Chains A and B, each alone.
Chain A
Amino acid sequence: MSLPFRPVILWTDALLFVLLAAVAVLAFWTVRNPQWRRPWARVGNSPVAVACLVVLGAYALIAVLDSLHYRPRLPQAVPGQPAQYSDTVRSVFDALTPDLWRVQEETYSAPLAEHLFVRQPQTLPDGQVVRVYPRLRIAAGSGPGQRWRDIARRALSGAAAGLAVGALCAGLLAWRCGRLRGARAWLTAAARGQAGWPARTLVATLTLVFVLVGVIAALAPAYHVLGTDKVGQDVLYLTLKSIRTGLLIGTLTTLVTLPLAILLGIAAGYFGGWVDDVIQYIYTVLNSIPAVLLIAAAVLMAQVYIETHVRMFDTNAARADFRLLFLCLILGMTSWTTLARLLRGETLKIRALEYIEAARAFGVGHGRILLRHVLPNVFHIVLISTVMDFSGLVLAEAVLSYVGVGVDPLTYSWGNMINAARLELAREPVVWWQLVAAFAFMSTLVLAANLLADVVREAFDPRRGGA
């Protein structure tokens, strides 16, 4: 008996789950400690933050589903032989969205089109060759001429399903939260924005997401909602797959370098003297190299390394994954210095505070002082800087891919999409949908992250009565 699939855990998958575990631990800790609960409650009370969290949550869900990788079992040629597994690595996300990738076209097609965007030679029955716009493979099932009516019908039914799920959510919330006043009273209050927390925003944003998902799910079996790219892949699929890359770069980068930044930053500030001098020297050296050049140099070297050690990687996915991880590492190398410097400055301030003096007067050791007194009091800086760095890193991926030192060309990423599409702008008529899709999805993510970062900073800033 063998499984119909063989799980594959890529390095970045593993790290992503480590990150999720860390977030879970942090959440548990936060719930138990009123010191941390207060600023988070302030974040939760901001409608902007709630809307952003819903959007980010949708992105994160896709990224997590897309990080559960496996290799499907190949159909057995001879029964009784050990099972063979495909070289193609798929994810749970792929399994859930077969409509987006099963049907591949010849080349470009516009969003919701019926025909290819480019004329192709076709041999007529009489042997004559003509150049026509062939009908899309995906549209094979639907009758010609009915397109707009069909789209409207599908979109409406999808939207209706989305609305229904949204209403269900509102009902569930009312049932949970309305125990005191009664569900109906709670609903009316929430609709007026008087629930005591931004329940209205939560339901509205969730419903919006559900409606979008509903419409797409209804259209996807018969149309390429955002068109297809040069080799005929569905652009919506490409963009959705890019989410994982963007999120990984935004989060893993910080995760892998956080220990370094915290350790060195706090040590420099707390111990001073030669420790400070050495740490400052290290980060001045790293800082003095323009970031793009340092990344370029490191990635070029990694590329040479990969190409000379091809045998280390058994699949293309593993290879691309190594490069993604390496990119995160090197991006982190260039960005930890900022956080370390901030922490050093804050630690210098805290070191002079009287509660540290009191601890020293008791003879408390350095390790304990750092762990119990310094770290908890600089932690809000770590959090704020992690949240604020995220969007910058997502944007950096696109630029680096353009320069040629980003993720592997085989990895789905917005940078690769933009890079592939920008040359096609010279075409007449213009192929615009790839660019628009990539920019729209990327900007939504970054905007949500930036807005959330603003709220988080405000809530945790001690000068504004935070933490």
Chain B
Amino acid sequence: MAELLQVRELEVTIPVPGGLARPVTGMALDIDAGVTYALVGESGSGKSMTALALMRLLPAAAHLRAERMTLRGEDLLTLPEKSMRRVRGGRMAMIFQEPMLALNPVLSVERQVVESLMLHRGLSGAAAREAAADLLAQVGIADARRRLDSYPFELSGGMRQRVLLAMALAGDPALLIADEPTTALDVTLQDQVLGLLRRLQDERGMAMLLITHDLGVVAEQAHHVGVMYAGELVESAPRSEFFAAPFHPYSRQLFLALPGQGRGRLAQIAGQLPRPEETLPGCRYAPRCPRAFERCRREVPQWQVVHGEHRVRCHLAQSDPGYALALPPIQAAAAPSAASGTVLRARGLKVYFALRRGLFGHRLLRAVDGVDLELAAGRTLALVGESGCGKTTVGRALLGLTHPTAGTVEVRGGVQMVFQDPYASLNPRMRIAAILLEGMEAQGLAPRSGQDAVVAGLLAQVGLPADAGERFPHEFSGGQRQRIAIARALAVRPRILICDEPTSALDVSVQAQIVNLLKALQAETALAYLFITHNLALVSELGHEVAVMYLGRIVEQGPAREVLERPRHPYTRALLAAVPRLDGRDRQAAMLPGEPPSPLAPPTGCAFHPRCPLAQAACRLREPTAVPVGPEHWATCLLLE
């Protein structure tokens, strides 16, 4: 069988103080022409390092070794650097995760695309420009010829990812390596880019190595799946077999940690990744594996066939091959707790920012433009929307960090916030105890004596050891930091907690821990949550009610299950349709076109009309009002009026 890419026993080593780190070890890949191979794993699993190793673009200190690394039979390992440069961007191209940073900021799009064309197709002058415009058109950039003269800063994130893709396609690659190509994009843009990748792959018969942490994306795109853990490939299977019955305990934990599946409490993976310089006598997952037995800690598992092409590196495949036929069944969700008493009410909330322009002039940025919210004790209101829709500003306004331009906010009991970035939300120079006590001191709640007990109590509440108080933030992982941030908020005994994307910077398994913690806290203390997120799966996991925001306004609001199952606003529908689904079923092909307009110049009438598939002439003229569409469920759309 003539495989396009064959890799055996690939190992990357980096000398570090106190040893040798092995970010990738024993890696094996086989990719056929026209196939998408998805490499899945959490951060630190070595998947990006594998991609860089294939391109031979590793950092200077890293050392690359492999038994075999061939592309169309050509040995990439021994290829001299000069010939390797023809492969790079030629037969094998790569696109990266951060489209905002991956383009040279001071060169025009044309120069950057033409550069690749010159290198790999020998084009120049007008012919190159023509070919560049053609490529931009192929990646779905409207008005391609004009866009050639743009600079990266003038393009949106989705557009930049398309430009990067055009550059990668310039050499007509046989293999495209896509490293988290949609992670930085909103769900509707992710949908567009994934659709584009599928189309290009069909047209060109190109193979793709898709690196991602998102199982939904895998289910939608991949033909074959490889799961990486701590630098090793632990499972490799065709897509359908993998999703029907993942075998490796780690893969199964990943599935069970996904929110919104209705399988009850999310699975948590205990402990942390082994450090890359740590060598273990047995399986690298054994210390965290719920199914580990004595052999796992003693002997490194070799590849075992589960069924056909489904292979796994796990001793269970020999000792208990039947343990993992299917995932636990989906349960009926528990009835939501009854609402009791409103703790937060916002009416007509508006937040405008004046952007200075020139000496005297300024423009108004309508970040939040008339939002009504109500939150009851013990309940969670999920505020959903894409980046830039104003959802974070709503949270900050409710907390008083931003002064609202208009509207009223009534709060019963204290409000606190848990922020998005666990690395920026704790002062790196303060001990954890001081961080936890700060709010109490500021509000005069700190006890004179017995502060240690208070700190220990808070830490226990979020599941951290009592000795954490004496340590500094850098000694904790992202998930632990987020727990500390929650404990800090809880210290002043608020009744409302605003959670601003508290898990978006975390891996799935860590996200599960935080979600479980938030649920438990709510059950114990009747906290009310305003949960700000872009992740619809989290909404169904946590939310009792949901409000969908678009361009500073709420377009649909209602009980979570009601909205998710019977969305009425075209935007809500499009948003739900854009989420990749684990079962890989064909979704409605209603891909939402374009990108949200700027809040500096919102469209007239219904703000959604330029992207709405159902828009009519009236939508451009008249602003819709809220229409009740079910019990406590309303949407603002003219078509419903």
Chains A and B directly touch (beta carbon < 8 Å): yes
- Decide: B442 and A358 in contact? CB cutoff 8 A: no
- Decide: A355 and B401 in contact? CB cutoff 8 A: no
Report if A359 contacts B (CB, 8 A): yes
- B400: chain A residues at CB < 8 Å are 361
Q: From the candidates A358, A368, A372, name the one contacting B417 in the complex (CB within 8 A).
A: A358
Q: Of all chain B residues, which has the CB nearest A379?
A: B429
- Decide: B425 and A362 in contact? CB cutoff 8 A: no
- A360: chain B residues at CB < 8 Å are 401
- Decide: A355 and B472 in contact? CB cutoff 8 A: no
Report if A277 contacts B (CB, 8 A): no
**Shortest distance from the beta carbon of B52 to any chain A beta carbon, whole Å:** 20
Proximity string of chain A (328-355) to chain B, C-beta cutoff 8 Å, 1 when within and 0 when not: 0000000000000000000000000111
Report if A357 contacts B (CB, 8 A): yes
- Decide: B417 and A355 in contact? CB cutoff 8 A: no
Report if B428 contacts A (CB, 8 A): yes
**Shortest distance from the beta carbon of A266 to any chain B beta carbon, whole Å:** 15
- A25: chain B residues at CB < 8 Å are none
Known: A361-B417, A362-B492. A355 touches B442 (CB 8 A): no
Q: Of all chain A residues, which has the CB nearest B421?
A: A354
Q: From the candidates B416, B425, B427, B492, name the one contacting A377 in the complex (CB within 8 A).
A: B427
Proximity string of chain B (407-439) to chain A, C-beta cutoff 8 Å, 1 when within and 0 when not: 000000001110111001111111000000011
Report if B399 contacts A (CB, 8 A): yes
- B83: chain A residues at CB < 8 Å are none
Residues of chain B from 123 to 167 with CB closer than 8 A to chain A in the complex? none
Report if A403 contacts B (CB, 8 A): no
- Decide: A361 and B399 in contact? CB cutoff 8 A: yes
- A376: chain B residues at CB < 8 Å are 427, 429-430
Report if A35 contacts B (CB, 8 A): yes
Report if B443 contacts A (CB, 8 A): yes
Known: A35-B429, A35-B472. A363 touches B442 (CB 8 A): yes
**Shortest distance from the beta carbon of A135 to any chain B beta carbon, whole Å:** 62
- Decide: A362 and B429 in contact? CB cutoff 8 A: no
Q: From the candidates B415, B419, B428, name the one contacting A357 in the complex (CB within 8 A).
A: B419
**Shortest distance from the beta carbon of A197 to any chain B beta carbon, whole Å:** 13
Report if A58 contacts B (CB, 8 A): no
- Decide: A355 and B443 in contact? CB cutoff 8 A: no
- B443: chain A residues at CB < 8 Å are 362-363
- A365: chain B residues at CB < 8 Å are 442
- B428: chain A residues at CB < 8 Å are 35, 377
Report if B397 contacts A (CB, 8 A): no
- Decide: B488 and A358 in contact? CB cutoff 8 A: yes
Q: Of all chain B residues, which has the CB nearest A33?
A: B429
* Chain A CB within 10 A, most for which of B429, B443, B488: B429
Report if B547 contacts A (CB, 8 A): no
A198 to B80, CA, bound (A): 41
Report if B592 contacts A (CB, 8 A): no
Report if A22 contacts B (CB, 8 A): no
Residues of chain B from 441 to 463 with CB closer than 8 A to chain A in the complex? 442-443
**Shortest distance from the beta carbon of B478 to any chain A beta carbon, whole Å:** 13
Q: Of all chain A residues, which has the CB nearest B434?
A: A372
Known: A357-B401, A358-B485. A368 touches B429 (CB 8 A): no
Report if A373 contacts B (CB, 8 A): yes
**Shortest distance from the beta carbon of B573 to any chain A beta carbon, whole Å:** 33
- A362: chain B residues at CB < 8 Å are 416, 438-439, 442-443, 492
A114 to B511, CA, bound (A): 84
**Shortest distance from the beta carbon of B391 to any chain A beta carbon, whole Å:** 16
A34 to B432, CA, bound (A): 13
Q: Of all chain B residues, which has the CB nearest A376?
A: B429
- B421: chain A residues at CB < 8 Å are 354
**Shortest distance from the beta carbon of B474 to any chain A beta carbon, whole Å:** 8
Report if A364 contacts B (CB, 8 A): yes
- A34: chain B residues at CB < 8 Å are 472
- A358: chain B residues at CB < 8 Å are 417, 419, 425, 439, 485, 488-489
**Shortest distance from the beta carbon of A358 to any chain B beta carbon, whole Å:** 6
- Decide: A361 and B401 in contact? CB cutoff 8 A: yes
Give chain B's interface residue range (CB within 8 Å of chain A). Answer: 20 to 34
Q: Of all chain B residues, which has the CB nearest A362?
A: B439
Proximity string of chain B (466-509) to chain A, C-beta cutoff 8 Å, 1 when within and 0 when not: 00000010000000000001001100100000000000000000
A383 to B539, CA, bound (A): 47
Known: A354-B420, A358-B488, A362-B443. A372 touches B427 (CB 8 A): yes
**Shortest distance from the beta carbon of A53 to any chain B beta carbon, whole Å:** 22
* Chain B CB within 10 A, most for which of A353, A354, A361: A361
A405 to B85, CA, bound (A): 60
- B439: chain A residues at CB < 8 Å are 358, 362, 364
A343 to B472, CA, bound (A): 24
A377 to B472, CA, bound (A): 14
A354 to B401, CA, bound (A): 11
A273 to B400, CA, bound (A): 20
Proximity string of chain A (367-392) to chain B, C-beta cutoff 8 Å, 1 when within and 0 when not: 01000110011000000000000000
- A377: chain B residues at CB < 8 Å are 427-429
- A363: chain B residues at CB < 8 Å are 442-443
**Shortest distance from the beta carbon of B109 to any chain A beta carbon, whole Å:** 29
**Shortest distance from the beta carbon of A270 to any chain B beta carbon, whole Å:** 15
- Decide: A359 and B438 in contact? CB cutoff 8 A: yes
**Shortest distance from the beta carbon of B12 to any chain A beta carbon, whole Å:** 20
- Decide: A355 and B492 in contact? CB cutoff 8 A: no
Q: Of all chain A residues, which has the CB nearest B491?
A: A362
- A35: chain B residues at CB < 8 Å are 428-429, 472
A354 to B395, CA, bound (A): 13
- A364: chain B residues at CB < 8 Å are 438-439, 442
**Shortest distance from the beta carbon of B450 to any chain A beta carbon, whole Å:** 20
A360 to B415, CA, bound (A): 12
**Shortest distance from the beta carbon of A353 to any chain B beta carbon, whole Å:** 5
* Chain B CB within 10 A, most for which of A357, A358, A360, A377: A358
Q: Of all chain A residues, which has the CB nearest B472?
A: A35
A358 to B487, CA, bound (A): 12
**Shortest distance from the beta carbon of A56 to any chain B beta carbon, whole Å:** 27
- A359: chain B residues at CB < 8 Å are 438, 442
A35 to B471, CA, bound (A): 10
- B420: chain A residues at CB < 8 Å are 354
- Decide: A372 and B442 in contact? CB cutoff 8 A: no
- A353: chain B residues at CB < 8 Å are 424-425
**Shortest distance from the beta carbon of A388 to any chain B beta carbon, whole Å:** 22
A368 to B488, CA, bound (A): 17
- B427: chain A residues at CB < 8 Å are 355, 372-373, 376-377
- B401: chain A residues at CB < 8 Å are 357, 360-361
Proximity string of chain A (21-39) to chain B, C-beta cutoff 8 Å, 1 when within and 0 when not: 0000000000000110000
A192 to B429, CA, bound (A): 37
- A372: chain B residues at CB < 8 Å are 427, 430, 438
- B438: chain A residues at CB < 8 Å are 359, 362, 364, 372
A363 to B415, CA, bound (A): 11
- B485: chain A residues at CB < 8 Å are 358
- Decide: B424 and A354 in contact? CB cutoff 8 A: yes
- B399: chain A residues at CB < 8 Å are 361
- Decide: A361 and B416 in contact? CB cutoff 8 A: yes
Residues of chain A from 7 to 55 with CB closer than 8 A to chain B in the complex? 34-35
Q: Of all chain B residues, which has the CB nearest A364?
A: B442
- B396: chain A residues at CB < 8 Å are 357
A360 to B400, CA, bound (A): 9
A357 to B393, CA, bound (A): 13
- B415: chain A residues at CB < 8 Å are 361
A359 to B491, CA, bound (A): 13
Give 4 closest A-B pairs by Cβ, nearest first: A362-B439, A354-B425, A376-B429, A354-B419
Listed by A's residue number, 9 A-B pairs whose Cβ atoms lie within 8 Å are A34-B472, A35-B429, A35-B472, A354-B424, A361-B399, A361-B416, A362-B416, A364-B438, A373-B430
Chain A residues near B (Cβ < 8 Å): 34-35, 353-355, 357-365, 368, 372-373, 376-377
Given contacts A357-B401, A362-B439, 13 further A-B contacts (CB under 8 A): A35-B428, A354-B424, A354-B425, A355-B424, A355-B425, A357-B396, A362-B492, A364-B442, A373-B427, A376-B427, A376-B429, A376-B430, A377-B429
